[in-house]
Chain A
Amino acid sequence: EVQLVESGGGLVQPGGSLRLSCAASGFTFSSSWMHWVRQTPGKGLVWVSRITADGSGTIYADSVKGRFTISRDNAKNTVFLQMNRLRAEDTAVYFCVRGESLDYWGQGSLVTVSS
């Protein structure tokens, strides 16, 4: 069974940093692209970033480019999202998602940016 479990969310002040992790199991992690998608409470889904299977290719939404960094550790079946210079508008539930076709989603981790 495919499982994606996010962790690392919480409350952070504007300008601060946070690192999300997503532990994957039940599939060949090292062969899968991975994404982060976020959802502001009560609002829609917004794609944030993608990393290729071997970690050599990353891409970001314009709203987070230069502030967020996606990475992965295939030995530990884990993908990360390092979030720096956080803003109030980054407040959202962050989902870890598998595959080029976004076929499996984690349950999400809430990030709240507030003073």
Chain B
Amino acid sequence: SYVLTQAPSVSVAPGRTASITCGGDKIGSKSVHWYQQKPGQAPVKVIYHDSDRPSGIPERFSGSNSGDTATLTISGVEAGDEADYYCQVRDSNGDHWVFGGGTKLTVL
């Protein structure tokens, strides 16, 4: 089965840029989606199809995907961005949905 690897935690100072990575074999050939989950809440999609933003998601959130790594970038990080972030793809057969283990973003 397809495996997505995320670092457990990332820390960043307010106003700086956070990069959260998601590793997978030839992930650049897949469509990657990113979700933000705050404590006690359901996940919210922040990036779809590698780099598109749903309506209502600030421009500070962006995504890229190439080779074996997809990246979620948050510019000008704010305290309210503190959350768990998950990447997600469909496996090679397209019939299973796969999540990364999640990265906890801490705003210092």
Taking Cβ atoms with an 8 Å cutoff, the residues of A that contact B are 35, 37, 44-47, 50, 59, 61-62, 95, 101-103, 105-108
7 additional A-B residue pairs with CB within 8 Å, beyond A37-B97, A37-B99, A44-B86: A44-B99, A50-B95, A50-B97, A95-B42, A101-B48, A105-B43, A106-B42
Selected from A45, A59, A62, A103, the residue in CB contact (under 8 A) with B99 is A45
Nearest-neighbour CB distance to chain B for A5, whole angstroms, equals 11
What are 27 contact pairs spanning A and B, CB under 8 A?
Answer: A35-B97, A44-B86, A44-B102, A45-B35, A45-B37, A45-B43, A45-B88, A45-B99, A47-B96, A47-B98, A47-B99, A59-B95, A59-B96, A61-B96, A62-B1, A101-B33, A101-B45, A102-B33, A102-B45, A102-B88, A103-B54, A105-B42, A105-B43, A106-B42, A107-B41, A107-B42, A108-B42
> Complex: how many Å from CA A23 to CA B4?
31
